[in-house]
Structure 1
């Protein structure tokens, strides 16, 4: 039973990463067809900004979760 959350988290992360990859690829290919290099750069810049914001939010959520858990008296040692 201990492996179930690990498998679900890995599955969810892989599905999200694959979905992000294909979304960015679709927008990139579409920009290449329509407007050329400047539109491609804009799509890549925007996708990089979204990825950085996502990572910062995940890190913030993890820190908030562990700090709240510690304040509530949970044992969160590895």
Structure 2
């Protein structure tokens, strides 16, 4: 029973990683035809920055909400 999360998380990472690779490759190939490489990299950087900021903000809001509700956040 302990190996199920390891297998499922590994599978999820592989599937999402493969999907992201092909999505980025497709957009990059499409972008090089229409625009120069600098514009594509700049747009990709902006998207990555927005994603990281939104991920951090969701994590922070979750942490504050859980502390407000009195949940125990200590490691066992």
Q: Would you say the 8 A contact 1:24–1:47 is kept in 2?
A: no
> What are the ranges of 5 or more consecutive residues in structure 1 without an aligned counterpart?
none
CA deviation after TM superposition for structure 1 residue 8, in Å = 5.5
CA deviation after TM superposition for structure 1 residue 2, in Å = 7.4
Q: Which residue, 45, 48, 52 being the options, matches 1:48?
A: 45
> What are the ranges of 5 or more consecutive residues in structure 2 without an aligned counterpart?
none
* TM-score, normalised via structure 2 length: 0.68
Change (3 A) 1:4 1:23: same
**Which runs of at least 4 in structure 1 moved beyond 2 Å after TM superposition?**
1-21
* TM-score, normalised via structure 1 length: 0.67
* Higher relative contact order structure (alpha carbons within 8 Å, sequence separation ≥ 6): 1
RMSD of aligned alpha carbons: 2.7
- In 1, the alpha carbon distance for the partners of 2:7 and 2:65 equals 25
Q: Which residue number in structure 2 is paired with residue 69 of structure 1?
A: 66
Deviations 1:32-77 (A, max 9, x none): 3x246x2x22122111111111111111111110111001010011
